[in-house]
Each structure stands twice: as C-alpha cells, then as structure tokens.
Amino acid sequence: MIYWGGNPAECHPRHFTKYSLMQKGKFTPNGRKDRTMVLVDIRETPSAKAADLFLQIRPGKDFEMLSALRAIVKGQRVNEETVAETGLTVAQLQDLAAQMKAARFGIIFFGMGLSMTRGKHMNSAQILMLAAEMNAFTKFVAMPMRGHGNVTGADVVMRYTTGYPFGVNLCRGYPRFNPGEFSTVDLLVRGDNDACLVLGADPGATMPQPAIDHLARIPTITLDPKVTHTSRLSRVHITTAVTGISAPGTAYRMDEIPLPLRPALKSPYPTDEEVVRRIRQAVARRPAWLPGRNGKAAI
C-alpha cells in the first residue's frame, strides 16, 4: 500500500490499526507482516515511522514523479535529469515500480498533499491513471483520504444523480463536468458566482485567500450546527441539527459503504434537509424570472 501526500498517523489515527496496515485478512493472516507500506511526502511525518519505504519528493513535483513512474511501469525510458528534479532517482522509481508489480493487491491512498497542491486535479488524474495501468500487471486501486464531514457521501450522490463526482455545472439544465473550471474553489477564486450556499462545509477555513475574500464580498448563506470561519463571514447563518446526533441521515465511509445514522438526542433546530426543502418551496412560489429589456424582469 502507498500513502501519497497524506499523514494518516495524525489525520486519520484509526486508519492504520482498523482498516489498512494492521488488520488481518483472509489473504493476509499475519496482518502487518504480510504488507509493505510506502509513504510519499515532501517531509518526514509521524506516518514515516510506520513505512517500509519513505520517498521524500520536492514540493510541487508530484505530477512529474507520477509521469515518470507511469513511464517506468510501462517499460519506457525516462530522463534522469528530469527525474532528479523531483528529489528522487530513476533507481528509486524503478524499485517502487517493481514492488508495485510484485504485489498481489495494491492500493494507493492519496491525500490533500497531492490534490490541493500544484497540479491539483491533474495530480489526482495522474494517480488514478497509474492505478488503472497497474491492473495490466496485478490488481490495483486508488482511494482518496477524505477530510472532515460526509465528503464521500456528497461525491456518491453527485455521481449517481449526474454521472460525475464533483466539478459539475448544471446551468444549462444538464450536467457538465470539468474540474479546474467548475470546481468550487476555482469558481470562487475567479469570482464567477454572485451568491453562495454552503451546506455542511467550512470553505473559509480551508480554501485559498482569494476564494475566502470572494465569499465575504457576495451574499453567502451557511447551514451549520456551529459557528465556523465561513459562518462568521456569511450574511446569513442558519443553525441546524447535528446529523447523526440530533438528525437522521446517511453517511458514507471513505470506501463508499453507507452508514445509516439514528439520532440519539432531540434538537430545537431544523435539519439541513428541512431547511433546504423550505428554501425550495419558497423559491417555487415566486414567479418565473426572465431577463427583459433595460435589465427589467419579464414575467
């Protein structure tokens, strides 16, 4: 297994022991002894202590390393000077490729250190292509290490309703998919939108400063059980019940297994679903708006 751009020892503390590295399985009866772990990161984190092989690359060179690794896997020649710019050598990449091919079942866990740095969605595309190409030699998969909240659930719902997991534009009445153009962070950085509804997220704490500044300029509405960085800069903050504690729902694990949530406590606040439903009903009661002459509405 390969962890790329993530630090599960601190960010996902139960991942090693409960789901991946230490767990015993039908084909890995000895648990940790039957597995090889590789960590790829720009610095030595606490996760490196659990790794059999730690590869330290230079910041912003993930795309170049992935391109070289894909070429080596397919038996193509690579330029040693180009590889050296990543902070590694061709021999190290050849050794990694050999270990990947020798695996009975390999998996790549990639985190925000890969997807939120230089290259962004192109880095993710490269690592998914690498996993797909490895299936010519052995079984291989790739899985993102998700952050807070039900992020996987949002992707799953978008995927089965539109066919795409994220970066979806519905302005024309049908879904269009283009990461880098329609992704939330890109829309906010460019300032394309003039309003924003934030549901179950805190972009004000994680997104680049230009995106945060744009959120503060436009009418931003936040639905959240607690005060967050985003709610502080919002024009409207609607306090909602906590899903899984005071509100029912379904959360998806990182491996896309749905987990039904049953509330243990009652809340005086409405659920996210109820608030969104009431907003939709209020919008439906308004007359249709069409652009007219001189900026006036034509009904």
List the one residue out of 3, 80, 83 whose CA is nearest residue 35.
Answer: 3
Flag whether 299 is in a domain: no
At 221, phi and psi to the nearest 5?
Answer: -115, 130
Last residue of a domain, one of 144, 171, 202: 144
Q: Do 193 and 140 belong to one domain?
A: no
Q: Do 100 and 82 belong to one domain?
A: yes
Q: Do 180 and 271 belong to one domain?
A: yes
> For residue 1, what pLDDT band results from cuts at 50, 70 and 90?
very high
pTM for the whole structure = 0.79
Q: Do 111 and 132 belong to one domain?
A: yes
pLDDT (tens digit per residue) in 250-269: 999 888 899 999 999 999 99
Place of tokens 């291989």: 140
pLDDT (tens digit per residue) in 147-160: 777 888 888 999 99
What is the structure's pLDDT at 291? 65
Q: Do 40 and 133 belong to one domain?
A: yes
CB under 8 Å to 2, separation ≥6 — which residues? Answer: 37, 38, 39, 40, 100, 106, 107, 108, 109
- Whether 93 has a pLDDT exceeding 70, the answer reads yes
Q: Do 159 and 46 belong to one domain?
A: no
The count of structural domains within the chain is 2
Q: Do 183 and 135 belong to one domain?
A: no
What is the structure's pLDDT at 19? 87
Q: Do 15 and 38 belong to one domain?
A: yes
Q: Supply the mean pLDDT for the chain.
A: 91
What is the structure's pLDDT at 207? 87
What is the structure's pLDDT at 188? 94
Flag whether 296 is in a domain: no
Last residue of a domain, one of 115, 144, 173: 144
pLDDT (tens digit per residue) in 161-185: 999 988 999 999 999 999 889 989 8
pLDDT (tens digit per residue) in 11-27: 888 899 988 999 999 99
pLDDT (tens digit per residue) in 191-212: 999 999 999 889 998 888 999 9
Flag whether 298 is in a domain: no
Of the chain, the percentage scoring pLDDT greater than 90 comes to: 72
Q: Which domain, by its residues, includes 119?
A: 2-144
Paired residues of 196 in beta bridges: 220
Q: Do 109 and 186 belong to one domain?
A: no
For β-strands 297-298 and 168-169, DSSP reports them as unpaired
What CATH number does the domain containing 97 carry?
3.40.228.10
> For residue 292, what pLDDT band results from cuts at 50, 70 and 90?
low
Q: Do 205 and 249 belong to one domain?
A: yes
Last residue of a domain, one of 122, 144, 166: 144
Mean predicted confidence (pLDDT) in 224-231: 94
